[in-house]
Amino acid sequence: LTHTLFLPSEVVVDEGEDAALPCRSITAGQRVKSAQWRRDGEVVLELNPPQVTEGNGFESRVSISSDWYQRADLSLTIKRVHLRDQGVYFCDVDKTERHRSAVRLRVRETVPKSLTSTLKPTLMVSTLTLNLKLIYPLSAGRWSSPEVNPIRPVSYL
């Protein structure tokens, strides 16, 4: 019984940016039968030379270098990453022997620029003007303001 432990490297990008997930394998002089990028068991990109297939939800957003064979570089580029793109990606290369690498993609949520440009801190000053009228008794039953009836309570808000 053999277990292989993968310690993924980590790539951190802001939402909406492009992410480059590294995968290097010695391909010079070796025929690559196939290569796959997977996340959560789902195909992200599959390479069956010369054909490249993009996985569901990644159409027109994923690619590898067109000269991958000469450069031994099967790094995956994901354009305009979304929060849902986060996770651990596995790169499997099937040639004379199998090669596997893992990359954890972390996506930082960003505040849309339209909000950051319109939501500027402002100082609001409110002025409350009160007109106070002093009411006092002049004599029994007479008040300084004739519209006030001391029998009926007056409330001010």
Pair 111, 17: CB distance under 8 Å: no
In a domain, 48, yes or no: yes
In a domain, 1, yes or no: no
What's the rounded Cα separation, in Å, for the pair 156 and 12?
60
* 20: CATH: 2.60.40.10
104: in domain: yes
Q: Check: CB of residue 27 under 8 Å from CB of residue 35.
A: no
Torsion of CA 43, 47, 51, 54, to 10 degrees: 30
| Per-position pLDDT tens, the chain of length 157 | 665 565 779 999 999 999 999 987 765 567 778 899 999 999 999 998 888 999 999 999 999 988 777 777 899 999 999 999 999 999 998 877 788 899 999 999 987 766 655 555 555 455 555 555 656 566 666 666 656 555 555 555 5
Count: domains in the chain = 1
8 forms beta bridges with none
CA–CA gap between residue 97 and residue 90 (Å, rounded): 16
What is the domain range of residue 29? 9-108
The amino acid that residue 65 corresponds to is S
* Residue at 130 is within a domain: no
